[in-house]
A and B are shown apart, each in its own frame.
Chain A
């Protein structure tokens, strides 16, 4: 009997756990360890953050799902991994302070990101002056602050809103882009648009880069860059923007930034929602002698090393190759340890990295979206199933971000009749300029804006919650 431990119950972890248990049945054990017993449909937190969706609609309790599937659930946080003792085990810490050693044969690290607010002084809702939509409590606090600003506008007080990324290496520009459009939509809906100054600030080298090197689409007989696409949405809504910017410091009511050219500036705000950079979840890796081997297992930001070419990270953008990207997601030192979703360390960003003249890095990190996390979690599960059932010695399934595509639905307002969203598909996620002139296959790379996009976004919310609950025919819903 094999025991597979999955750390984390997000898109990657839950997809892996359900697929593993379905294929391996009662003969083998699947254990999920996670400090939160809920699955959260994170893409809808941008709606929570403007008050257009109730927080409880974005999450559900996983306990009955795991009971139904026969998956053992441990509601605690992994603190240590001991990968080469005779009994390989994970140390789990529960909320009451008790710890437990849980043995494994295979381990999937799908712990997602640590929100690294500390990277920018004054960033974040807990110890700083900006809001965030990267956790549910943060999104709820953001909603409350947004609604307070709305009340002030109703009383005739003009408000300044700043939305974007809070550090030069932050990712998730797409989520911030959705948030700024929803914020604008909600303000306009209340007839208060003339009372609001709305500004976008981002570390993207150009608007519409989204951390994926931008996207070119074919429309009405023209090739159109993502820059024009994103710009047109801002012009339409009267949103001003600052791009190529690293936020140096957030203070009460203002932020300071520097851009790629070294130009320094500041923005005043009454309300700011800024996405933090991500780091790996702090977990210790201890070898059989009791030594800490984290530096061998993880990159400095704490994400786990997998089968990527990490030497490529020191090379210039022009020398980055598709083969730098991982395919099987197993750790080079331990074949039975995998990392899926945000937890794996990408070899380098997708967008070109820039530096300000003073050396400040302004380089959006590679996004690992929910779809990518699901695909990778599923792929890793298939490899483990093959190893357990058929004795495969190496992982046998592959899914490279340089070979699969992405569907991004960027909400621009939540309403079944007046809302809209930009639907953007790209294939592959990591552009390949040797193969495609614009980096991607334009038959599968597509962009459009409209109400139907909102319907798709809304449909996916319910479809994915259905899938993640493991309900009827869940396995046929794509990752």
Chain B
């Protein structure tokens, strides 16, 4: 990681419209996004999520 601290990650100017409401990833979040063992688990999880949404159906026979 290039950044020393979380607060190096983005510019922050108090009392601007930008600073009033925002979310931005912390260093820890950025680390987990690329941490391969964790991402392998996520890969499996994503596939289950996708299958779940596909199981909600696409084309259906209309029986009315």
Contacts and interface: CB of A to CB of B under 8 A. Distances in A.
7 contacts: A235-B24, A379-B58, A404-B56, A427-B56, A448-B46, A451-B33, A452-B40
A450 B46 CA distance: 11
Interface of A: 224, 228-229, 231-232, 235-236, 238, 327-328, 375-376, 378-379, 382, 396-399, 403-405, 407, 417-418, 420, 423, 425, 427, 444, 446, 448-453, 455-456, 478-479
- Name which of A228, A420, A423, A450 has the most chain B CB atoms within 10 A of its CB: A450
B42 A450 contact: yes
Contact of B59 (A378, A427, A456): A378
B14 interface: no
A59 B63 CA distance: 39
A19 to B, nearest CB: 10
Contact of A452 (B11, B43, B52, B54): B43
Contacts, number: 98
B34 to A, nearest CB: 5
Q: Decide if the interface of chain A is mainly helix, strand, loop or mixed.
A: mixed
Nearest to A412: B33
B23 interface: yes
Interface in B43-64: 43, 45-47, 49-50, 52-54, 56-62
Given A378-B59, A418-B34, A423-B46, A444 B52 contact: yes
Contact of B50 (A238, A327, A407): A407
B9 to A, nearest CB: 7
Contact of A456 (B21, B47, B54, B60): B47
A228 B10 CA distance: 15
A412 B53 CA distance: 23
Nearest to B44: A452
Given A450-B33, A450-B34, A399 B59 contact: yes
A235 B62 CA distance: 47
Contacts of A449: 25, 33
B53 A231 contact: no
B53 A407 contact: yes
Contacts of B40: 452
Contact of B36 (A229, A396, A451): A451
- Name which of B10, B32, B42, B58 has the most chain A CB atoms within 10 A of its CB: B58
A396 B59 CA distance: 10
- Name which of A379, A448, A452 has the most chain B CB atoms within 10 A of its CB: A452
Task: Report the 9 A-B pairs with minimum CB-CB distance, sorted nearest first.
Answer: A379-B59, A452-B42, A452-B43, A375-B58, A450-B33, A452-B39, A399-B59, A451-B39, A405-B53
B62 A396 contact: yes
Contacts of B28: none
B43 A455 contact: yes
